[in-house]
Amino acid sequence: MTIETVETHRAHGGTQGVYRHASGATGTTMTFAVFVPPAAAKGPCPVVTYLSGLTCTHANVMDKGEYRQAAAELGLIVVCPDTSPRGEGVADDPAWDMGQGAGFYVDATQAPWAPHFKMWSYVTQELPAVIAQHFPVDTARQGITGHSMGGHGALTVALRHPGRFKSTSAFAPIVAPTQVPWGQKALPGYLGPDTALWRQHDAVALIEDGARPPDLLVDQGTADSFLAGQLKPELLQAACDAAGIPLTLRLQEGYDHSYHFISTFMAEHLAWHAERLKA
């Protein structure tokens, strides 16, 4: 699997790069960002994947997430994929919460999305293989995080891959997409009417159905305009309490849904991951 280097920059003693490759999963060119810390010069490093939210690309967190200093100090590789396939011939929707920029980290089965919208396979299989081939990662030490739709992706990916991800966190995640408007639009749109398939992409439902992560960290701003209608972290708290899963849910007073919120707590999330990804 070959990759093309789009750009690289020296940062905090490490290297921030942007790369692209021909994806077999999506049938398109996919772009992703990787930060490699200075510790990689001495050997493979643990890796944390960050999944972005609706309307975003790899560039949003790369430009505004403020993760590089912490990642350099902690010795973490940080991988930031795009949120959907893009390009000529790729289906789209006039709404911002469906189509390009809104892949929801599922493998679509419905027209017109099925040919390209295979983000589940991309982030769980293809991209990790590309990263392992081209970057000095310790594949036994993987963590995952994300924001909003990407927080939904991070939680569901980790819950369905027990043992693979040793650390999981999220910023303002969509914890129960089957119970909120964003998910009630996207899941049937991409997956059709089978509600059993929807449950496979719903963190609360997965926990209700038996998924048991070791622990979780979630930060949520109290001034987030999507808090009550779309995010509902109390549903995740209730599911974790019922299942005996340690959840650190931190309600951050006055913070909204933006990258001002994410960047404020990014270093703490990376420290959480680093603690759990120790050799």
Q: Which residues are catalytic?
A: 148, 224, 257
Asked whether the beta carbons of 53 and 146 are under 8 A apart, the reply is yes
CA distance 166 to 73: 20
**What pLDDT does residue 243 have?**
98
- On whether the CB atoms of residues 114 and 25 are closer than 8 A, the answer is no
Does an H or E element contain 187, and which?
helix 181-191
The share of the chain scoring above pLDDT 70, in percent, equals 100
Q: What is the pLDDT of residue 50?
A: 99
Q: Coil, strand, or helix at residue 210?
A: coil
Q: What is the secondary structure of 94-145 as a DSSP string? A: SSTTSBTTB-TT-B--STTTTTT-BHHHIIIIIHHHHHHHHS-EEEEEEEEE
Q: Are 212 and 162 in contact (CB under 8 A)?
A: yes
Low-confidence ranges of the chain (pLDDT < 50): none
Strands of the sheet containing 14-22, edge to edge, are 4-11, 14-22, 29-36, 77-81, 45-51, 137-146, 165-171, 216-221, 247-252
Backbone angles phi, psi at 114, to 5 degrees: -55, -35
Q: What is the per-residue pLDDT for 113?
A: 98
Rounded to whole angstroms, how far apart are CA atoms 28 and 87?
A: 7
The reported pLDDT for the residue numbered 161 is: 97
Distances, alpha carbon 23 to alpha carbons 32, 62, 142, 236, in Å: 11, 21, 22, 33
Predicted confidence at residue 279, as pLDDT, reads 67
pLDDT on residue 93: 97
What is the distance between the alpha carbons of residues 212 and 193, in angstroms, rounded to a whole number? Answer: 27
Q: Which pLDDT belongs to residue 195?
A: 96
* Contact call for residues 40 and 14 (beta carbons, < 8 A): yes
Domains and CATH numbers, the chain: 4-277 (3.40.50.1820)
pLDDT value for 16: 99
Report how far Cα 228 is from the mean position of its chain's Cα atoms.
21
